[in-house]
């Protein structure tokens, strides 16, 4: 066993949470699942595993993750989502770590899936994120969406062998709905930050986004799923700025 805590926040993830928790078996004696009001069978499935279930209100990604991390037994935190299992190679890499330098963080490589299709290229290809860190040194910011880790400049980033298996959506329709939700959240974040929408952002940004992910990042090599993924992400870019423009217009009306 490794002296680290796995921390997961989740809501209505009964289709993936069991496989995710199963992938952690033999890695640690502390798995924290922080549920934010599931109405499906997520809670029942979590209780079938050696995990500590906590239930609390949703406060946005950044704040909720920090609340969950505070419940961990160990200072070393492996922060994952309910749809992010680990493969055996990554488990072996994690078990081999000494974890004796608080000023080190570890970057993990991701394999992202739409349904059963592994996306090797495009926006999801070559995906990697820092997910293992010491909570005494590194924190999540309080962003409601697209939260980021606040990493001091003297921290060393290291990479591990193996993959996080990110089964992000079961179908194209779920992918579309998920990106619509994120577009709305990001528009609100941009509005609070005082960012502006414009004709260029509404028209050229989505086109460039599609070209970048489908052509420059070779998304076309992923077949139909690669095309659909590039198209959905481009539409997400459009929706994000469209909703931001609507928020700004509504604020102008309310101020009159």
* pLDDT at residue 171, rounded to an integer: 81
Q: For residue 29, give the DSSP letter.
A: S
Dihedral angle, C-alpha 120, 123, 126, 132, nearest 10 °:
-120
Q: Which of 140, 131, 123, 128 is nearest to 222 (CA)?
A: 123
- Residue 8 pLDDT class (50, 70, 90 cuts): very high
Does position 52 have pLDDT exceeding 80, yes or no?
Answer: yes
How far is 94 from 98, CA to CA, in rounded Å?
9
Domain spans, the chain: 5-169, 172-255
C-beta separation of 166 from 87 below 8 A: no
- Quick: pLDDT tens for 199-234: 999 999 999 999 999 999 999 999 999 999 999 999
End-to-end Cα spacing for the chain:
62
- Quick: pLDDT tens for 83-142: 999 999 999 999 999 999 999 999 999 999 998 899 999 999 989 999 999 999 999 999
* pLDDT at residue 85, rounded to an integer: 98
CATH architecture of the domain formed by 5-169:
Alpha-Beta Complex (3.90)
* pLDDT at residue 30, rounded to an integer: 98
- Residue 252 pLDDT class (50, 70, 90 cuts): confident
How far is 224 from 206, CA to CA, in rounded Å?
19
In degrees and rounded to multiples of 5, residue 224 shows phi and psi of -55, -40
- Quick: pLDDT tens for 127-177: 999 999 999 999 999 988 889 999 999 999 999 999 999 998 878 888 899
Report the predicted TM-score, pTM, of the whole model to 2 decimal places: 0.90
Q: What is the Cα 168 distance to its own chain's centre?
A: 9
- Quick: pLDDT tens for 63-84: 999 999 999 999 999 999 999 9
Q: What is the Cα 102 distance to its own chain's centre?
A: 23
**DSSP per-residue string spanning 131-154:** EEEETTT-EE---SSS--EE--TT
* pLDDT at residue 7, rounded to an integer: 98
Provide mean pLDDT across the span 8-16: 94
Does position 256 have pLDDT exceeding 80, yes or no?
Answer: no
- Residue 17 pLDDT class (50, 70, 90 cuts): very high
Q: For residue 42, give the DSSP letter.
A: H
* pLDDT at residue 169, rounded to an integer: 80
């Amino acid at each position: 066993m490794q002296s680290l805590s796995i921390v997961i926040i989740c809501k209505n993830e009964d289709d993936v949470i069991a496989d995710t928790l199963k992938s952690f078996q033999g890695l640690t004696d502390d798995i924290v699942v922080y549920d934010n009001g599931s109405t499906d069978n997520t809670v029942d499935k979590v209780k079938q595993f050696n995990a500590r279930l906590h239930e609390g209100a949703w406060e946005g990604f950044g704040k909720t993750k920090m609340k969950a991390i505070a419940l961990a037994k160990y200072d070393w935190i492996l922060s994952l989502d309910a749809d992010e299992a680990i493969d055996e190679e990554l488990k072996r890499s994690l078990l081999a770590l000494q974890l004796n330098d608080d000023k080190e963080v570890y970057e993990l490589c991701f394999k992202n899936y739409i349904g059963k299709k592994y996306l090797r290229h495009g926006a999801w290809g070559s995906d990697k994120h820092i997910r293992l860190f010491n909570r005494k040194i590194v924190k999540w910011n309080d962003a409601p969406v697209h939260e980021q880790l606040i990493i001091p400049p003297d921290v060393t980033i290291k990479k591990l062998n193996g993959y996080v298996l990110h089964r992000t959506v079961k179908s194209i329709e779920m992918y579309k709905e998920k990106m619509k939700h994120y577009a709305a959240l990001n528009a609100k974040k941009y509005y609070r930050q005082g960012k502006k929408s414009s004709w260029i952002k509404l028209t050229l940004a989505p086109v460039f986004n599609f070209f970048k992910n489908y052509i420059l990042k070779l998304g076309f090599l992923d077949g139909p799923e690669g095309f659909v993924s590039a198209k959905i992400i481009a539409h997400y870019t459009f929706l994000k700025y469209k909703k931001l423009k609507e928020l700004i217009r509504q604020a102008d009306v309310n101020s009159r």
